[in-house]
Structure 1
Amino acid sequence: MSALLSRSEVLDMAEAGIAESIRRGMGDCSPAERKVARVLLSAYPSAGFETVARLADRAGVSGPTVLRFVQRLGYRGFPDFQEALRRDLDERSASPLRIHQSRPPREDASASLRERAAAISVATLQRTFDELSTHDLDRCVELISSASGGVLIAGGRYSGLLAQVLALHLEQLRPRVRVLPDDAPARAALVEDMGRRDVLVLFDYRRYEDHTQRLARAARARHASIVLFTDSWLSPVASDADVVLSSETGAPSPFDALTPVLALIEAVVAGCFDRLGDAAVDRMARADKVASDLGLY
């Protein structure tokens, strides 16, 4: 399968964003290095452009600890790390047009669309699940299933469709699942009512949207739990989220892939169904009866 991918397409999928690389690598770090990682993630990417001395001071560690940390990530030194950050910033803000313009010509022009799309899509999906943390997936399922208040879900320009898909499934399994409405007064009222018994699920992908970050801050101020679906460059919401589920974006077109996100949604729904057990089955049966009584289907 990989022979059908050009070298540039393989590299596009193989390079996770720096923020995601930091998050994935924290388990292998020393306690002092984890302090550096947390500072970088909490103020990403601006913290990475500070001096070694300033970053060390903010993390409460020594300068050599900062240098050991960036070397652990695979960089020769701090200037090399900062240059990678600049490239990462370009990727985080890339539009579909810029993605198209920056891609070199395909090396294997003889591959059909079917072969090329299949190879890229399967590879992207496989990498998403290879890098998925079992702990994060289980924690996501636990938060959504056990929220005694409600589950509020929101997305952006395109990711709002993903929010709808998740909500349509979850509302069949448990009560009080809502997609945050676009209507301003209704949205404000739901956010104001959020509390520590609620979970806010957010979808946010590159060219990250300010309103999603504001939602996350509002939820955090009200002590609600936050689940974030994002890409490998990590939405700024990641610093406020209790759980982050990231997916790869490689696609045969200039548009980021949605298939891996949908696969993650399906995994979460499956986990919630198993976790809720008889309660979910009973709810589905009652909903079917009501729908039949109302002549809906």
Structure 2
Amino acid sequence: MTDAGVAESIRRGMADCSPAERKVARVLLSAYPSAGFETVARLAERAGVSGPTVLRFVHRLGYRGFPDFQEALRHDLDERSASPLRILASRPPADGEPQGLRDRAAAITTGTIQRTFDDVSTHDLERCVELISQASGSVVIAGGRYSNLLGRVLALHLEQLRPRVRMLSDQPSARAAMVEDLGRRDVMVLFDYRRYEEQTLRLARHARARHTAVVLFTDTFLSPIASEADVVLASETAAPSPFDALTPALALIETVVAGCFERLGDAAVDRMARADRAAADLGLY
């Protein structure tokens, strides 16, 4: 198995599955993680397939059997809720000679970014660019305690390329009004990483109810929003500190911005030029 969480492994594995096995995957993801703790017979019934199909699916993912799959699921649940202190406590001791901070950080960071790009879905990346660049309504962006910082980076770039890019307001009445205005012409971009936040999940469900496309940036353990999202872009979290890495997520954001710039073409260049003229007129920079 890879370093990905169980949910992300299921999502990645769907492309290689038979139609019947994909039914099992969809049931597991739509009711993750509880569906994974049901019996083989119950899971097969929910998916409308046979028991052997469920077993073939977990074997295809690389597990020896269903008990092995459920054991991995229990471990995954611990990882999904891990705090920085728990991550630090679970980190194995370094072998051999102590490595300097620069070399250690470089090895971990480059590896984390490389695995992120190796595993990200080309289809999801291109679909994300398409949804954001072609939305005829608004692109509304929101995140959580820390991930809101990532959302602001994306918003600051996108607002230079296209109109109607907005961070979801922190002010309750303004936030409610912005969410109420969502419709099928809009796109909601959400950032949600482990120790996932219920308020962000509620935003996704509200957006789906209003037929708004949902783009999710998350980690490889997969936010519960993944089952509500049209697009999921997952990044690895390994870092030299006890805190989850933001660098791989930033690399994905910069890739999406590059894709939107290419997709929008002359319209983006014209908007940037107009913004520069307005800034000069106002003495902003």
2:178 aligned partner: 190
Deviations 1:98-117 (CA, angstroms, capped at 9, x unpaired): 00011121114421000000
| CA distance in structure 2 between the aligned counterparts of 1:108 and 1:140, rounded to whole angstroms | 43
| CA distance in structure 2 between the aligned counterparts of 1:295 and 1:270, rounded to whole angstroms | 28
Match of 1:278 among 266, 274, 284: 266
Deviations 1:15-49 (CA, angstroms, capped at 9, x unpaired): 11000000001010000000000000001000000
| CA distance in structure 1 between the aligned counterparts of 2:202 and 2:97, rounded to whole angstroms | 44
2:214 aligned partner: 226
Residue 139 of structure 1 pairs with residue 127 of structure 2: yes
| CA distance in structure 1 between the aligned counterparts of 2:40 and 2:102, rounded to whole angstroms | 49
| Paired residue type of 1:144 | I
* RMSD value, Cα: 0.9
| Paired residue type of 2:268 | A
| CA distance in structure 2 between the aligned counterparts of 1:16 and 1:232, rounded to whole angstroms | 5
| Paired residue type of 2:120 | L
2:110 aligned partner: 122
2:150 aligned partner: 162
| CA distance in structure 1 between the aligned counterparts of 2:126 and 2:73, rounded to whole angstroms | 31
Counterpart secondary structure, 2:35: helix
Aligned sequence identity (%):
80
Residue 74 of structure 1 pairs with residue 62 of structure 2: yes
Counterpart secondary structure, 2:169: coil
| CA distance in structure 1 between the aligned counterparts of 2:131 and 2:25, rounded to whole angstroms | 25
Residue 288 of structure 1 pairs with residue 272 of structure 2: no
| Paired residue type of 2:177 | A
| Paired residue type of 1:122 | T
TM-score (norm 1): 0.95
TM-score (norm 2): 0.99
Structure 1 unaligned regions, length at least 5: 1-10
| CA distance in structure 2 between the aligned counterparts of 1:56 and 1:186, rounded to whole angstroms | 45
| CA distance in structure 2 between the aligned counterparts of 1:165 and 1:191, rounded to whole angstroms | 21
Task: Please identify, of 106-115 and 93-102, the stretch whose mean Cα deviation from structure 2 is larger.
Answer: 106-115
Q: Give the CA deviation at 1:53.
A: 0.8
Counterpart secondary structure, 1:142: helix
| Paired residue type of 2:10 | I
| CA distance in structure 2 between the aligned counterparts of 1:102 and 1:244, rounded to whole angstroms | 28
1:242 aligned partner: 230
1:50 aligned partner: 38
Structure 2 unaligned regions, length at least 5: none
